[in-house]
Structure 1
Amino acid sequence: MIRAAIAASLALALTACATTPEVAAPARPDAKSYAVSANAMGDVDAALTRAAASGKRVLVVFGANWCHDSTALAGWLETPRFTALLAERYELVFVNVGLPQSGDGHNLDVARRFGLAEMTGTPALVVLTAEGKPVNLDTAASWRNAASRSEDAIFAELLALSDRPAA
């Protein structure tokens, strides 16, 4: 009798394990590769020139391929919702900064040019006016948690930083 009860309990437990729903993957579209350039400073200067002609702002994303927060943010920026916002309001530039936390940083002169004296994490996101003035140095380093932000939160912040009325 006890054996039958134990067997029934074990069978019930195994059935419960077998029917446990799978845990959903994070709902973020990681980029396959974080876009990098051999001439980051030139890319930023070109974006500033385009912004001066169009009246847009420049969105500079300092990050790296090894960083899940960088690839998460880059992935969101590739989605239709974000590409529409970027096309209307921003010139986008990705700047590879390597691994600055360990002393193996790249393109840190670009970050310093716009007021990021040190890069303690990635990504950092700087929004520039067409004249090259940063508008969000107080929040630039806060993007280190981009992978845990919601799509709506990222969109709302980029919309607010664009300093243009919603369409």
Structure 2
Amino acid sequence: MTRAAALALLVAAPVLGSPVAAETSAAHPEARPFDESVSDALYAQELEQAIAQLEPGRRVLAVFGANWCHDSRALAGWLTSPGFEPLLDAHFEVVFIDVGEPQEGDGRNLDLAARFGVTGIEGTPNLLVIDSKGTLVNTPESAKGWRNAASRSEEAVYAIIASYAGEAE
């Protein structure tokens, strides 16, 4: 899903009753973009397409999470918030991928993360930064280090995401 499509769903969600509806909390916005009804094959296709269509200097932010997860909703909320829009529009394609409940042994799409060297996922969310060559930019450890996303400030999340902005290739 392109950033524009994600934002369109976010805006339309309250009207449509979609699970992408934004919520507001005192500390952070929340969004629910992880769709359990989307097939694993479609998630794989969306990720591959996002990588293949990257323009020079852009990267994919692949967010592996779940709507049941407070931290996944928080990270998704920041990534769909107006304050992040200029950064994301200039440097990233955002793809949200539902992973089910990996900590309960009921994970899904974990093979997609494993293709980029991120294995042993036991919680959510996970943030993979992927360049146009299909290479993981961040480390597997940093990709898995977002389980406290709801307790991070907007400034902290923004700074980390900005640090992954690519240079012209």
Q: TM-score, normalised by structure 2?
A: 0.77
User: Which residue among 74, 98, 102 is the counterpart of 1:72?
Assistant: 74
User: Which residue among 105, 108, 117 is the counterpart of 2:107?
Assistant: 105
Structure 2 match to 1:153: 156
Structure 2: which amino acid aligns with 1:153? A
- The answer for unaligned runs of 5 or more in structure 1 is 1-24
- Deviating above 4 A after TM superposition, structure 1's stretches of 4 or more consecutive aligned residues are none
- The answer for unaligned runs of 5 or more in structure 2 is 1-24
Q: Kindly indicate whether the alpha-carbon contact (under 8 Å) linking 2:64 and 2:127 is maintained by their aligned counterparts in 1.
A: yes
User: Which residue among 71, 79, 92 is the counterpart of 1:90?
Assistant: 92
**Aligned partners of 1:164, 1:27: CA distance in 2, in Å?**
32
Q: Deviations over 1:18-57 (max 9, x none)?
A: xxxxxxx5320111x2233431110111100121x34311
Which of structures 1 and 2 has the bigger CA Rg?
1
Structure 2: which amino acid aligns with 1:35? F
Instruction: Map 1:126-141 to 2 at 5 A.
Output: 126-137=128-139, 138-141=141-144
Is 1:142–2:142 an aligned residue pair? no
* Aligned-residue offset at 1:161: 1.1
Higher helix share: 1
* Aligned-residue offset at 1:101: 0.7
Structure 2 match to 1:50: 53
CA RMSD of aligned residues (A): 1.5
